[in-house]
Structure 1
Amino acid sequence: MSTTLVMRRMPEFELDAYDAASGHYTTVSSQQLQGKWAVVCFYPADFTFVCPTEIAAMNAHLDELTALGVVVVPISGDTKFSHKRFVETEPLLNHLKLTMGADNTGNVARKFGVWNEQEGVALRGRFIINPDGVVVAEETVADSVGRSVVELIRQIEAWQHAYRTGEVCPANWRKGKKTLPVNTDMEEMTGNVGKYVTLEEILA
């Protein structure tokens, strides 16, 4: 049986959290994400090297993500108290507006399949979830290399277009580029995709 969550419902969860925008403790839950586009983004730990760069990059693009109707939930195995101290001391996290989930038992990361039992931390797992609560994309990488927020936004825009129109998006698709209207022209397009979109258009 496949272990991927893609095309499956997001696991249910509720966590203590630290709201960096208000400076208050709160909670985050899967219930709060229902009916919305969401990104659940696990990272190994506070007070590490790559993690604050990822969080800061996500925060820098938060207005763009919010404009797309996306809720972003970063989660690690640290406590909400650690999150608060991390935000207060790490210069990259000045002006942070994200609410950080505290999965200090690792149970939520286990549900998403990204808990590293040997190390006792989460892998870098990132999940895009549609308004139906279904995971449509996941990316999991080891801890030494950070992920691209620009690529995340590109994928979200593509998934939102596909969700809204029933069309599909070729490799490298960005807003304004050609899509494949398989919802109306599937038979004509089968075996003839190159008549609709060229390699040059794909790579442009």
Structure 2
Amino acid sequence: MAKIGDTLKPFSTQAYKQGKFVPVTDADVGGKWAIFFFYPADFTFVCPTELEDLAGIYPTLQKMGVEVYSVSTDTHFSHKAWHDSSPAIGKIDFFMLGDQNHTLATNFDVLRDGQGLADRATFVVDPQGVIQLMEITSEGVGRNAAELLRKVKAAQYVAAHPDEVCPAKWEEGEQTLAPSLELVGKI
């Protein structure tokens, strides 16, 4: 199972993005924050609600230097057809990666045995290619883009301030904690 601290593994695939098919590799991801947003399949039920929700925060993520890569084991052709036919998916401007060879789902260890589908999983990778956040939910449990945004902000804050940590429900601008011997038992 992929875990916090693991490094992004090599991959090469095709994506659909803003009306074009484009190649995407691990080298394209390096040097910036990235979200890999796995979902089971195009033309399904929970998936379009999640992807539409994520599309709503994509401009904010871009301003924060974060790129989004949605991933399913469908092809980039299927992503285009879905984008063209679904009002919810039509709102997406981020990369929609095809993973029909299962390279990414295998690299992140979210490929469902015997099904050829990816689990509903999110990975946040830092500019050095290291996994900083991850979340995997069951088939029927959709994710919340606002909470993902909060977590990315916290991860970026901690990366920029290595002597501080963000407590539960931390929001940008709120007080952080500076771990120390004096703080033990005082919270």
Return the TM-score normalized by structure 2: 0.95
- What pairs with 1:1-204 in structure 2 (closer than 5 Å)? 3-19=1-17, 21=18, 23-166=19-162, 167-182=164-179, 186-192=180-186, 194=187
Q: CA deviation at 1:45?
A: 0.5
Which of structure 1's runs of 4+ aligned residues deviate more than 3 A?
none
Q: CA deviation at 1:71?
A: 0.5
How many residues are aligned here? Answer: 186
Q: CA deviation at 1:83?
A: 0.6
Q: CA deviation at 1:156?
A: 0.5
- Counterpart CA distance in 1 for 2:138 and 2:26 is 25
Return the TM-score normalized by structure 1: 0.87
**Contact kept? 1:123, 1:142, Cα under 8 Å:** yes
Deviations 1:46-85 (A, max 9, x none): 0001111111111111111111110000010001111110
Q: CA deviation at 1:189?
A: 1.4
- Counterpart CA distance in 2 for 1:93 and 1:85 is 10
- RMSD (Å) for aligned C-alpha atoms: 1.1
- Counterpart CA distance in 1 for 2:102 and 2:139 is 16
Structure 1 unaligned spans of 5+: 195-204
Q: CA deviation at 1:39?
A: 0.4
- Give percent identity, aligned residues only: 35
- Counterpart CA distance in 2 for 1:187 and 1:95 is 49
